[in-house]
Amino acid sequence: MPSSERLRTIESLGDLAGTRVIVRCDLNVPLRDGEITDDGRIRASLGTLRELTGAGARVVVISHLGRPDGEENPAYSLAPVATRLGELLGAPVAFAADTVGHDAEKAVAALQDGGVAVLENLRFHAHETSKDASHREEFATRLARFGDAVVEDGFGAAHRKHASVYELPKLLPSAAGRLVQAELEVLERLTSGEPERPYTVVLGGSKVSDKLGVIDALLPRVDRLLIGGGMLFTFLAAQGHAIGKSILDADGLEAARGYLDQAHERGVELLLPTDVVVADRFAADAHYEVTTIDGIESTSAGADGLGLDIGPDTAAAFAQAICGSATVFWNGPMGVFELEPFAAGTRAVAQALTEVDGLSVVGGGDSAAAVRQLGFADDDFGHISTGGGASLEFLEGKTLPGLEALGWTRE
């Protein structure tokens, strides 16, 4: 039986009418000048929240936003999130200007059946993220006063041993929300049993060393491994190519050489770029050229050239490999997608994932941000994870504290 089926779910909490339910969401959305630039994580929480309010629960939403380092900082307030949540739910959402203080007490006490209140940023309190378990337990106890049950639905924080993630579910009847259930079911399809083949993993991002665990775990399972993003230059350097001033993860060089050998020994098709986009500086208006991987230092930028995207030939080859797969997991953009001249590689990979006849998974983090910024809709893909770090740690085989607290164990 898949371990996801042994996870405590909302059904285990019984009749929730009139019950105060604390829902730990991950509403850590990007803000610019106080405006939300991507509400994907808020929308991902709606299913669970609507189910609970529809059952007559009195819902108390808690979340973190950014890294305010245990201090109150208006730049990281959840107030804009509460406003947007109310718009998406089509119903009033109360906002408490503190997390466990007088305003939170008033907001929770005023809730009616089917009502929702959002408490201020959990990370305004240092004990939320403390390494001292007694501090986390003290903060979790203060949070627990506001609920009769807890639903953990913040998958993006499930890999953190924080008070609201790990200690709080142990103090009250607790269960996983629908988002956490969905994330776990998809990730188990990638790691347990036999995924449909061909099975392709596409990895980007800047450092090989950040992906060591996931490559180690997945290399024995996949048919193809495609490498893009900044980490591609470490692989090219490992093969002896000159890479100019492109990002180099010196600590990952030996690992890259080892992966090239392992892939060959296992019969895994490891695709590296054959061409790249090289710029003379890191800027949207930089001069850039497409060159083969042998010519990175032969562009007009010379040895100062910066590789900022995969080239068009590589993008086409990657797209062909992805479209010919039955299972695809992608984590990490192919280039500096935030700058339009260097977004084509990421756009090509995203488009290819929309055409997969099977399971296509966008592994959260920058990849999720990229597909939305580039104009793709969430339902263009089989699944967009809300947790980049949590997804990678799960794929590496690590135990996630947020799942462990809900009774989940890895088979």
Q: Which residues are annotated as a binding site for ATP?
A: 211, 307, 338, 364-367
Give the Å distances, CA to CA, from 75 to 55, 79, 257, 333, 400: 34, 10, 44, 27, 29
Any catalytic annotation for residue 389?
yes
- 215 Cβ neighbours under 8 A, 6+ residues apart: 203, 208, 225, 255, 259
Encoding tokens for residue 235? 């692989």
Kindly give the interhelix angle for 344-354 and 365-373, rounded to the nearest 10 degrees.
Answer: 90
The active-site residue out of 43, 389, 398, 407 is 389
Give the Å distances, CA to CA, from 343 to 245, 348, 389: 20, 9, 23
Any catalytic annotation for residue 161?
no
The active-site residue out of 154, 177, 365, 387 is 365
The active-site residue out of 8, 24, 41, 136 is 41
Cα 7 from Cα 171, distance rounded (Å): 17
Please state the residue numbers annotated as binding site.
Answer: 26-28, 41, 64-67, 123, 160, 211, 307, 338, 364-367
- Are 41 and 27 contacting, i.e. CB atoms less than 8 angstroms apart? yes
Please state the residue numbers annotated as binding site for substrate.
Answer: 26-28, 41, 64-67, 123, 160
- Are 322 and 345 contacting, i.e. CB atoms less than 8 angstroms apart? no
Cα 286 from Cα 284, distance rounded (Å): 6
Any catalytic annotation for residue 224?
no
Cα 405 from Cα 383, distance rounded (Å): 24
User: Sheet of 275-279: strands edge to edge?
Assistant: 288-292, 275-279, 306-310
The active-site residue out of 43, 106, 142, 207 is 207
Instruction: Decide: helix, strand or coil at residue 359.
Output: strand
Cα 107 from Cα 216, distance rounded (Å): 48
Closest CA to 61 of 110, 101, 95, 91: 95
Q: What is the Cβ-side half-sphere exposure of residue 73, based on CA atoms within 13 angstroms?
A: 16
Any catalytic annotation for residue 142?
no
3-state SS of 343-373 is CHHHHHHHHHHHCCCCEEEECCHHHHHHHHH
Active-site amino acid positions:
41, 207, 365, 389
